[in-house]
Structure 1
Amino acid sequence: MGIHGSWDTVTEALIRVSGPGRSSGDWVRYLCPVHEADGRRHRPSLGIVYNHGKRKTIVRCFAGCRDQEVLDRLGLRVRDLFDGPPPAFAARPSADGHSIGLADRAVLAAGLPLTVRKPDLGPATGTGRVAATYVYTGRGGAALGRVIRVHTPHLGGRAKHFWQQRWTGTGWCNGGFDKVPYRLPEVLDGIGAGADVYVCEGEADTDTARHAGAIATTNAGGAHNWRPEHAVHLQGAERVWIVADRDPPGYRRAVAVAHTLLGLVGEIRIVQARDGKDFTDHVDAGHDLSDLDPIPLLDNHFRLRYG
């Protein structure tokens, strides 16, 4: 595909399915082929714009239709949005000379960098304070450990830190605890009732999902610390939704979690926030559970190959 070939491919498909478009600032607007293809008059809600930096055509329904649904109606694939081989399908070596794995292919397909540097917040301007405490329990509800979240003000923003404590039977002491999912009793009750389970990244997002009506869980210790010991507690779930943060660690964690669930649950889905980075951003933007967007490479891989 040549320079701007993706633009021609997308516009030709849209004109064929939805009719001609009209300019609206940097975007060109078309009738959405998903929800405005009924022949009636509509104010066009689908827009396309060319991103020169990423060398891709961006397609977005501002009414909320999923990108994959739009592409399906147009008869297009994700690779058709890119000029030249899309990053997800290009043969690129990693630092150790091996092929890039599934998660990193999805990272590149999403137009994200493979590495993310934490911003320099500068010197601290105050002392840390406890912002939240998350208690982990066993199957019977007895406390096993807790995660304490601390916020510290800095010149350039707010830093967050976590530490763990375990319950000794008589008090709390610093250190790790048994590898159990967060809110385990609720998760087990949900599985027994046939409910879907949502695996989020972090306790705050898990609590947000719970308030949104979901049976939700996570692991202590951050994105890289989900283990098979956590997964065994989800055995028998009919469907598990892995809600990935929109960044490289989030995508990599989603793949790692999915692998630990193979053979334990009925169906695995991998999704992300429609707006923002994580599930809390998603809810803050006015979306609910049904609005989570599949991550095409990851969701299709586990849903179709192992479902």
Structure 2
Amino acid sequence: MDTNRSWDTITSALNRVSGPGRRGGDWTTYLCPVHESDGRHHHPSLGVVYNRSRGRTVVRCFAGCSDADVLNRLGLRVRDLFDNPQTPHPARRQSRSPEPALADRALQVAGLPLEVHRRDLGPRLARPQRRATYIYRWPNGRPAGCVIRVHTAHLHGYAKSFRQQRRTENRWEPGGFAHIPFHLPELLDAVRTGQDIFVCEGEADVLTATRAGLTATCNAGGAQGWHPDHAAWLAGAHRVWIIADRDAPGYRHAAKVARSLTNLVDELRIVQARDGKDLTDHCNAGHHIPDLDPVPLLDAHFRTLLSPGRQTAL
């Protein structure tokens, strides 16, 4: 048995990514790799503590970032939080052979890998730089929060990261905000007037869609950030087009969005870029919105689930 294995794994990764931690009481605090990775001065808000009785390490961002996002930035998995993660018993694993999830079957049909492996970008060349700020607004236009896009130059490209801030009565504070869709006032107008709505995976694609004359939205937090509260704002929409990124997180995000909307909208379509990964790549390659391709299995499943026999063209 490796004593404190999880603690060593987590703190070594944090020391590498965020710098040395500060010990205070039971918790050791670090700069959060999700929302405090811009190179500026911050009061560390990520706490780490070792639970000896359970043989695991607890990670908690006191500003609201999810454990999954923190681990993802560190290149770790949930199992790394445990000294001795449990593995399924072989007999039990053989007796349970569930059908692959719909999104995973769609990935297999499309010839795409089930996992995304980050390429090694090499050493960092410069301090993180803010590239864009996306404001999320309530229906009356009042800011609720924002997503800040940060790029960090490396030898073989750049790494992108995102952090969130919430709007209080008189200032911006670090941390997450309410589950509201991007461009919410425009979205509600489209629902009311029966216009088609396009759901993207990120804010940059929403802006690409807007420049193409579409009503588009997304959620903060990327592929894992969709919440039922986002779906509730689309209730009553006539037709929703979900534009899936052409990778495993993108297909799974699209399926999650579609499932949450099946009882709320009249019609669903799931499409993807003809070339490249996302809508921005699609448009940069010279394609137009009607050139988006149906996502294998996913589009047919949700199209017929809501509207049997209906064929809708862009």
TM-score of the pair, normalised by structure 1:
0.68
Q: What's the secondary structure of 1:234's corresponding residue? A: coil
Equivalence for 2:126: 126
Residue pairs, 1:132-143, within 5 angstroms: 132-143=132-143
Equivalence for 1:294: 294
Task: Verify the 8 A CA contact 2:130 2:150 in the aligned structure 1.
Answer: yes
Number of positions where the alignment pairs a residue of Structure 1 with one of Structure 2:
214
Partner Cα distance (2:201, 2:217) in 1 = 8
Runs of at least 4 residues off by over 4 Å:
none
CA shift, 1:263, in A, is 1.1
Q: Does 1:175 align with 2:193?
A: no
Task: Verify the 8 A CA contact 2:196 2:215 in the aligned structure 1.
Answer: yes
CA shift, 1:194, in A, is 1.2
Task: Verify the 8 A CA contact 2:109 2:296 in the aligned structure 1.
Answer: no
CA shift, 1:99, in A, is 2.1
Equivalence for 1:204: 204
Equivalence for 1:116: 116
CA shift, 1:222, in A, is 1.0
Residue pairs, 1:99-114, within 5 angstroms: 99-114=99-114
Equivalence for 1:246: 246
Q: What's the secondary structure of 1:136's corresponding residue? A: strand
Q: What's the secondary structure of 1:132's corresponding residue? A: strand
Q: Does 1:145 align with 2:145?
A: yes
The unaligned stretches of length 5 or more in structure 2 are 1-92, 308-314
CA offsets per residue over residues 34-92 of structure 1, 9 Å max, x none? Answer: xxxxxxxxxxxxxxxxxxxxxxxxxxxxxxxxxxxxxxxxxxxxxxxxxxxxxxxxxxx
Equivalence for 2:190: 190
CA shift, 1:97, in A, is 4.4
CA offsets per residue over residues 228-285 of structure 1, 9 Å max, x none? Answer: 1000000111000000000011001100000000110010000001111100001101
Partner Cα distance (2:122, 2:253) in 1 = 29
Q: What's the secondary structure of 1:251's corresponding residue? A: helix
Q: Does 1:281 align with 2:281?
A: yes
* CA RMSD in angstroms, aligned pairs only: 1.4
Q: What's the secondary structure of 1:131's corresponding residue? A: strand
Task: Verify the 8 A CA contact 2:266 2:306 in the aligned structure 1.
Answer: no
The unaligned stretches of length 5 or more in structure 1 are 1-92
Q: Does 1:272 align with 2:310?
A: no
CA offsets per residue over residues 160-214 of structure 1, 9 Å max, x none? Answer: 0100000011010100000000000000111112110000010000110010111
